[in-house]
Amino acid sequence: MERPTMPLGSIEVESKFVAGPDTEAKLAALGAAPASNSSFSDCYYDTPDLRLTLADHWLRLRQGAGWELKCPPMPRPVPGVSSHLLGTTFPELPAWGTVASNHIPGARSQELPATATMYQELTSPQAIVDRLCKVVGVAPLPSWDQVPAAVAGLDLKEFASFVTQRRSYRLAGGLRVDLDEANFDYTVAEVEALAETPEDVPAALEAVMQLRQALGLEGTAGVPGKMSVYLQRHRPSHYQALLRAGVLHDPSPTLNSTVSGLKTMAEGQATTAESGPTGTGEAQEVEIGLSTGERIGHGQDISKVALVNDPGP
């Protein structure tokens, strides 16, 4: 019997950036309130032949939060993979000319300087198992009512594991800023807002961009996410496979030069911190590589729009 369709929930709008030693002082001046200071581990899973990530699907087990599947809200044209998604019903989305082109995950925005993408984050065990089976191309067994059973049955293996220290701040209008430091010597930050409906996305994206401007982030270079950097450092063959599949994009020489400049700036900030007030500790190292679903152009910021069941931790 066909399982009922799971609701998608709210929409998360994000924009990544490199935090400087004065970021938290700027947030305080803008009225941001500390929301949490937490540490959590993430483990990611895929088939031995990488069918999930090659289809831009990212299955994660987060300590204290459980299982989550991050995936495009529409089938992605990956040979040998996307055909299993045909027949999957997705909700009708409005033509967000200011958000993303043709609703395609990773599509460049027509009117914004930042790159925008759409991602659905499934947290319901039923929804996760159903989507995994569609990607892999098998029918779910009755015993796969929980994610661990499906993980074992589909022979999914862990391919990435790391710990993140996160400091979160909340601002008026539902805006949130996360400052992340991973245990493989990489730091990244993001501004995010939630939209209750697709029609609310342009306003949420505008609020995110306005906060970026207030933080002095206008015109900064795009920033790679944790997963991209992790794969580039620790699983280069996996990283290269995602580049060949078009899930990730290799940075250009121009962008590499920009990142080299950011490294130099970060080193200077570290030197200043030794003789002056302690900074945030962010952006001590910057390496290039595009994280899940991220697309980047010359000197562009990274922004993404993710369809989520509920706000993540």
* Alpha-carbon distances, residue 146 vs 24, 252, 258 (angstroms): 40, 42, 45
Q: Which residues lie closer than 8 Å to 277 by C-beta, 6 or more apart?
A: 21
- Residue 125: pLDDT above 80? yes
Neighbour-count burial for 240-253, b at 16+ CB within 10 Å, e otherwise: ebbbebebbbebee
Question: What is the model's pLDDT at position 283?
Answer: 27
8-17, 139-148, 301-310: range with highest mean pLDDT: 139-148
The pair phi, psi for residue 221, each rounded to 5°, is -70, 155
Alpha carbons 84 and 68: distance in angstroms, whole number: 20
Indicate if the pLDDT at residue 268 is higher than 70.
no
Residue 241, both tokens: 């496979």
Banded model confidence at residue 219, pLDDT cuts 50, 70, 90: low
Q: Which residues contact 20 (CB under 8 A, 6 or more apart)?
A: 269, 279, 280, 282, 283
Question: What value, to the nearest 5°, has the Cα angle with vertex 228 and ends 282 and 253?
Answer: 85
pLDDT (0 to 100) of residue 195: 72
Which has the higher per-residue pLDDT, 30 or 297?
30
What whole-number distance in Å separates Cα of residue 228 and Cα of residue 210?
27
Check residue 256 and report its DSSP letter. H
| Plot region of 293 (φ>0 → left; ψ -120 to 50 → alpha; else → beta) | left
Q: 33-42, 64-73, 176-185 — which is least confidently predicted?
A: 64-73
Where is average pLDDT lowest: 20-29, 126-135, 240-249, 292-301? 292-301
52: left (phi over 0), alpha (psi -120 to 50) or beta: alpha
Q: Calculate what percentage of the chain has a pLDDT beyond 70.
A: 58
Amino acid 14: pLDDT: 79
The string of DSSP letters for 76-88 reads: ---TTTGGGGTT-
pLDDT of residue 296: 32
Which pLDDT band holds residue 252 (cuts at 50, 70, 90)?
very low
**Tell me, what's the pLDDT at 90?**
34
Lowest average pLDDT, out of 31-45, 127-141, 159-173, 258-272, goes to 258-272
- Provide the residue ranges of all domains of the chain, joining segments of one domain with +: 11-88+96-308
Q: Which of 15, 311, 65, 28 is nearest to 174 (CA)?
A: 311
Instruction: Give the mean pLDDT of 248-274.
Output: 45
pLDDT, position 245: 93
The one-letter amino acid at 162:
F
Q: 53 or 19: whose pLDDT is higher? A: 53
Band the pLDDT of 200: cuts 50, 70, 90. confident
CA distances from 188 to 5, 38, 120, 271 (A): 35, 15, 22, 19
Task: Tell me the CB-side half-sphere exposure of residue 294, using CA atoms within 13 A.
Answer: 27
Any idea which residue has 């984050």 for tokens? 121
Return phi, psi of residue 107, to 5°: -70, 145
Q: How confident is the model at residue 202 (pLDDT cuts 50, 70, 90)?
A: confident
Cβ partners under 8 Å of residue 276, min gap 6: none
Instruction: Answer whether CATH 2.40.320.10 is correct for domain 11-88+96-308.
Output: yes
pLDDT, tens digit (0-9, with 9 covering 90-100), for 50-88: 999 999 999 999 999 999 998 776 544 444 433 333 333
Does residue 145 have a pLDDT over 50?
A: yes
Q: What is the structure's pLDDT at 217?
A: 83
Given a cut of 50, whether residue 274 has pLDDT beyond it is: no
Residue 281 pLDDT: 32
